[in-house]
């Protein structure tokens, strides 16, 4: 479990959006280079603006704070996020504009390269204990939207406070993590896809 860690909210790195029209706080990425497999961040939407586009990337946006945002896609589709925990999944190539309902919002942003990673995002209440199992090569990312929680002492991981994120990284064998506390949790399972086999008849 040595690769697993908790990232405190005050360690997130604030940087400009790729298109320069807003700010984001990067939580983590699979690789330090731009050629990451997955990336976690919190978008700070301070005014209505076009989103950056990402070729070959799928995204899921979750409202964390604020009165809401409308995702207005150039092809005419629209998605309205008004309550914390509401989310929308879309392809990173699609052009869209984030239109604020009533003031700024903070929105959790999960991105992954669809040809390399399978991603599942769950929004769950944390009441008592939850168990997470990591298979070799797999990562669970747990973002505590509200409340507080702590891992079983055997993991060696520190407590989670509101806004913190834990990365549970699969090692050579299947590992078990117990999280106990109260609040609301974003739980993301990131699984490498098997390489495509060429030349099969």
Place of tokens 């509200």: 146
Distance CA 98, CA 73 (A): 9
pLDDT of amino acid 200: 45
pLDDT of amino acid 196: 54
pLDDT of amino acid 197: 45
Q: Are 169 and 159 in contact (CB under 8 A)?
A: no
Q: Are 37 and 28 in contact (CB under 8 A)?
A: no
Query: Distances from the Cα of 2 to the Cαs of 111, 150, 158, 188, in angstroms?
Result: 25, 17, 13, 20
- List the pLDDT tens digit at each of the 201 positions of the chain: 468 999 999 999 999 999 999 999 999 999 888 889 999 999 999 999 999 999 999 999 999 999 999 999 999 999 999 999 999 999 999 999 999 999 999 999 999 999 999 999 999 999 999 999 999 999 999 999 999 999 999 999 999 999 999 999 998 888 999 999 999 999 999 999 987 544 444
* Number of neighbours of residue 42 by Cβ within 10 angstroms: 22
Among 182, 125, 185, smallest CA distance to 148 is for 182
Which token pair is 38? 């997955």
Distance CA 26, CA 54 (A): 16
pLDDT of amino acid 33: 83
Place of tokens 């990067």: 26
Mapping DSSP to helix (H, G, I), strand (E, B) and coil, where does residue 153 land?
A: helix
pLDDT of amino acid 173: 84
pLDDT of amino acid 194: 81
In angstroms, the first-to-last Cα distance of the chain is 41
pLDDT of amino acid 199: 44
């Amino acid at each position: 479990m040595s690769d697993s860690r908790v990232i405190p909210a005050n360690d997130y790195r604030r940087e400009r959006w790729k298109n320069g029209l807003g700010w984001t706080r990067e939580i983590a990425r699979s690789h330090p280079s731009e050629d990451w497999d997955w990336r976690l961040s919190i978008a700070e939407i301070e005014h209505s603006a076009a989103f950056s586009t990402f070729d070959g990337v799928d995204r899921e946006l979750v409202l964390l704070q604020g009165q809401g945002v409308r995702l207005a896609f150039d092809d005419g589709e629209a998605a309205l996020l008004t309550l914390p925990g509401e989310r929308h999944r879309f392809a990173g190539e699609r052009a869209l504009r984030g239109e604020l309902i009533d003031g700024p919002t903070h929105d959790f942003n999960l991105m992954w390269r669809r040809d390399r990673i399978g991603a599942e995002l769950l929004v769950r209440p944390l009441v008592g204990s939850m168990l997470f199992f990591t298979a070799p090569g797999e990562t669970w990312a747990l973002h505590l939207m509200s409340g507080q929680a702590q891992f079983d002492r055997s993991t060696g991981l520190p407590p989670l406070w509101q806004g913190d994120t834990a990365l549970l990284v699969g090692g050579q064998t299947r590992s078990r993590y117990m999280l106990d506390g109260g609040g609301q949790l974003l739980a993301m399972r990131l699984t490498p896809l098997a390489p495509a086999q060429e030349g099969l008849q």
